[in-house]
Amino acid sequence: MDFLSFREVAPSQIREIIDLGFKLKEERKKRIFTPYLENRTLAMIFEKSSTRTRVSFEVGIKELGGYGIFLSSRDIQLGRGEPLRDTARVLSRMVDMVMIRTYGHDRLEEFARYSSIPVINGLTDLCHPVQLLADLMTMIEYKKFNWDDPKTTKVAYVGDGNNMAHSWAVLAGKLGFELRIATPPEYQIDPQIREIAEKFARESGAKLLFTEDPEEAVRGANVVTTDTWISMGQEEEKEERVAKFKKYQVNHRLLKLAEEGAILLHCLPAYRGYEVTEELFEEFAKVIFDEAENRLHAQKGLMVWIGNQSWK
Ligand code: CP
Ligand code: NVA
């Protein structure tokens, strides 16, 4: 059982993962660490930088009684050109689970194809589903999402039509909540992802809106979210992007249009003065760092869930 994107996961399975995340969060508060993954080893391959993903997976597997191995592509033979498929086959003989953060989603898929052990997406250029598990947990904690009434959730995503926007679109389509995505015309989400999200939305009844107007997206929303304008690998486009995204900054003026009591989410790292203002970020620091912490709980839930599916 892999976890590559929300496309392959049923809403009931997403709920099982989140429920497990909450259970483990409660146990951890009491310092109860049940070894659900005793002696299981997780290899974590990073072809891009990371703070949250690395720490949450490494601490998570340790707290579950297992062991995490951090593999930077700078240090392993993969970075010197050893084929992915060989790396996948070697790791399959030595560890129990792999998390990989890479560029093209096709690299993740190739890795998963050649692995005989579960593979988890730790972010690709296409999507970042483990982040959205934490975001969903946070929305539930702040009473912005209810499994029995998903239509009361109205999320506004303002900024780049990137991996985060893609994961929001597919998750909204799957779970049936309302999502408005505002991007500059040149930075809309991938049309194929939009098609997939719209197909799921037809089944779940989710409302999806794609607009160039941030105000249209935020008006009446109860969750507002954004992400960097310059994702990893796009550093050279910085100047051009900053110019084109200027009117997509999430600030007090924009947030005023949201519903009273709306929350601001940010997957982090946050670039103040660009996608979000310093003042607004600090105003919502509590929820944003709760969201960051939930990476740990949600991914522990995910690893236990995958373990239950894979090692009966
Ligand atoms: N949000 C997130 O994935 O953070 P890192 O890049 O620090 O892992
Ligand atoms: N869109 C960002 C997310 C970082 C967690 C990136 O891919 O760099």
Ligand 2 pocket residue status of 227, Cβ below 6 Å: yes
Question: What whole-number percentage of the chain has pLDDT above 90?
Answer: 99
Using 50, 70 and 90 to split pLDDT, how confident is the model at 312?
A: confident
- Ligand 1 atom closest to the Cα of residue 51 is 7
pLDDT at position 100: 98
Q: Judging by beta carbons within 10 Å of its beta carbon (0-12, 13-18, 19+), is residue 260 exposed, middle or buried?
A: exposed
Clarify whether 101 is annotated catalytic.
yes
Using 50, 70 and 90 to split pLDDT, how confident is the model at 148?
A: very high
33 CB neighbour count, 10 Å cutoff: 13
Let me know if domain 131-291 sits in CATH 3.40.50.1370. Answer: yes
Residue nearest to atom 3 of ligand 2 (CA): 231
Strand order in the sheet with 97-101: 67-72, 41-46, 97-101, 119-121
pLDDT at position 139: 98
- Ligand 2 atom closest to the Cα of residue 230 is 8
Ligand 1 pocket residue status of 52, Cβ below 6 Å: yes
Ligand 1 pocket residue status of 146, Cβ below 6 Å: no
Q: Choose the catalytic residue: 2, 267, 297, 299.
A: 267
Q: Choose the catalytic residue: 131, 160, 166, 241.
A: 131
Ligand 2 pocket residue status of 231, Cβ below 6 Å: yes
Q: Judging by beta carbons within 10 Å of its beta carbon (0-12, 13-18, 19+), is residue 1 exposed, middle or buried?
A: middle
Instruction: Name the CATH superfamily housing domain 6-128+295-310.
Output: Aspartate/ornithine carbamoyltransferase (3.40.50.1370)
* Entry pTM: 0.98
Ligand 2 pocket residue status of 87, Cβ below 6 Å: no
If one residue of 128, 167, 168, 268 were mutated to test the ligand 2 pocket, choosing by the most ligand atoms within 8 A of its CB, it would be 128
Is the predicted pLDDT of residue 154 greater than 80, yes or no? yes
Residue nearest to atom 4 of ligand 1 (CA): 52
CA distance 162 to 127: 8
Contact 204, 239 (CB under 8 A): no
Q: Choose the catalytic residue: 101, 180, 194, 266.
A: 101
Ligand 2 pocket residue status of 162, Cβ below 6 Å: yes
Instruction: Output the average pLDDT for the chain.
Output: 98
* SS3 call for 43: strand
* Structure-derived torsion over alpha carbons of residues 70, 22, 306, 179, reported in degrees to the nearest 10: -90
Q: Choose the catalytic residue: 166, 180, 266, 295.
A: 295
Same fold, 6-128+295-310 and 131-291: yes
Clarify whether 85 is annotated catalytic.
no
Is the predicted pLDDT of residue 106 greater than 80, yes or no? yes
Identify which of 138, 141, 87, 78 has the alpha carbon closest to the alpha carbon of residue 111: 87
Question: What whole-number percentage of the chain has pLDDT above 70?
Answer: 100
Is the predicted pLDDT of residue 260 greater than 90, yes or no? yes
Mean pLDDT (whole number) for 80-109 = 97
pLDDT tens, residue by residue, 17-50: 999 999 999 999 999 999 999 999 999 999 999 9
Is the predicted pLDDT of residue 163 greater than 80, yes or no? yes
If one residue of 44, 50, 70, 133 were mutated to test the ligand 1 pocket, choosing by the most ligand atoms within 8 A of its CB, it would be 50
Is the predicted pLDDT of residue 173 greater than 90, yes or no? yes
Secondary structure E strands in the chain: 41-46, 67-72, 97-101, 119-121, 154-158, 178-182, 208-211, 223-226, 263-266
Residue nearest to atom 2 of ligand 2 (CA): 231
Domain residue ranges in the chain: 6-128+295-310, 131-291
